[in-house]
Structure 1
Amino acid sequence: MEVRMPERRRGAALEKALLDAAWEELTANGYARFTMDAVGRRAGTSPPVLYRRWADRDELVRAAIAHVLEESRIDAPDTGSLREDVLTLMRTINATRVQLVTVMSVHLAGYYQETGTGPGDLLAGGHEPSGDVLFERAAARGEIDPDRLSDRIKALPFDLLRHEILTTYAPVPDHVLEEIVDTIFLPLLR
């Protein structure tokens, strides 16, 4: 019987494996128990391999979040109407990001307290980045007056979605998404 040695990971493959392991460790055990040793064990490597890339666990946490966000990037929908674009984007976030929102809000509370940061600092913005193009398209179609848009109004439906997710730690029912868009968000633009 031939014994095969596991293939040695290098470069981008190794970095992806390390960041995936870091994310798995965060989701399984939270920030309080997140250590370089635990990530190394989960990735099947040693802590020095991690320290060559990230100076400390906080730097690794930030890199893992950026990695997950990049891997789960959401393209901006183009349905032909702002209502449907916003609903489609919210439905996609609702279907794919409940775990991410939960981890970033609950599991990383200790991180925010220790570093003096918040989820917006890790996300590099207050709303889904692909959301801006939705408003640009709607303005170009003449659906909305761009002068009525503030960053807070653009972020509102996504902030309310995040609030709903954090209230239940579960996907939000579709009728609630429609209510957010139809009775709260769109009336602000008219």
Structure 2
Amino acid sequence: MVWYESSDPLKAHMEQPSKQTFGLLVAYLIPGALALWGASFFFEPVHWLLSLDKQPTVGGFLYVTLASVGVGMTVSSVRWLVVDRLHSVTGLRNPDWDFSLLTSNVGAYLLLVEFHYRYYQFYANMFIAVAFTHVAWRFSDYSAGTGLIVDFAVVGIECVYFVSSRDSLDKYYERVSELFTKR
């Protein structure tokens, strides 16, 4: 399978933004949109922006998309603060890589980022976004009359996201370590 036309992997990476854009959208847009929806439970301008009772517009779509990416970046900062540290404290530490070996392995490195690290970002960012949205929903009027089954379901989903994030990060560390350790 040919991933790029150019013999220079870095140039090929820059020439094919759609693959990298997809990874970034998955890592930031989806968790950001979920957290933005969570914010709509207690922040009226966001609720108004996301309401379905008004006519959709291109400008509104772009605004919600940009806001979702921005919120996704914020979620990612919280992920770094919480999930990355949890993984580190529980034994999944960032390896000591020799980045002087990057030039000969840049194509493989970029592929590993797309195959493993972007998924880690998605799972860990969703872990944060689901927790935030559930707490926001639980404290809103919308959750009145719902039983604990929703809470148990969210705990189950959170466990899946946390374990998935740990697995993806572990695979990323392991496979990139093969590239960046001197033999």
Whose relative contact order is higher, 1 or 2, with alpha carbons under 8 Å and at least 6 apart? 2
| Same structural fold, with TM-score higher than 0.5 when normalized by the shorter chain | no
| TM-score relative to the length of structure 1 | 0.26
Task: Point out the structure with the larger helix share.
Answer: 2
| TM-score relative to the length of structure 2 | 0.27
